[in-house]
Amino acid sequence: MSNYSPRLPLTISDSNGYENNQTIVSVIQQNLKMILLTSPGERIMDPNFGVGMKRFLFEQNNASTYSVIRARIKKQVKQYMGFLEIHDILFSTEENNDNISANQLLVTIRFSINNTGAIMAFSVAI
């Protein structure tokens, strides 16, 4: 059994001390989540890290806002996770997805690890 990194939030495990990410994909998904949810200036010694998705909570729900979010995600992934190739960034709201509650935005990133053919997806709701 491989242990690549601690799984966040930290939870106690009888066998490893803390629960761990067991696959590279789970590490990548956790790191993407950190990039999306961390606000710029929040990480010590790296004030430019993070997209800061929560800052967009009260912005207009339109293509212009999506464009800003898309650009920030691409810039952050290129800088901090350059081994990923982003294929698409999709936005879902209650208007186009019945499984999303009112005033919620679901961001889905379709990506692949460079030099591999497998396309994966990761979603986060704010």
At residue 70 the predicted structure's pLDDT band, cuts being 50, 70 and 90, is very high
Provide the 10 A C-beta neighbour count for residue 24: 12
Report the alpha-carbon distance of residue 42 to residue 79 in Å, rounded.
17
Above 60 in pLDDT, residue 81?
yes
- Classify the phi-psi angles of 17: left when phi > 0, otherwise alpha if psi is within -120 to 50, otherwise beta: left
Question: CA–CA separation, 117 vs 102, rounded Å?
Answer: 36
Q: What is the Cα–Cα distance from 22 to 3, expressed in whole angstroms?
A: 5
Instruction: Name the H helices within 1-126.
Output: 24-37, 63-80
Label residue 6 by pLDDT band (50, 70, 90): low
Residues shown for the chain: 126
Angstrom CA distances, 80 to 16, 30, 54, 61, 75, stand at 28, 13, 20, 27, 9
Mean confidence (pLDDT) of the chain: 86
Residue 45, sorted as left (phi over 0), alpha (psi -120 to 50) or beta, turns out to be left
Q: What would the pLDDT profile of 34-44 be if each residue is shown by its tens digit?
A: 999 999 999 99
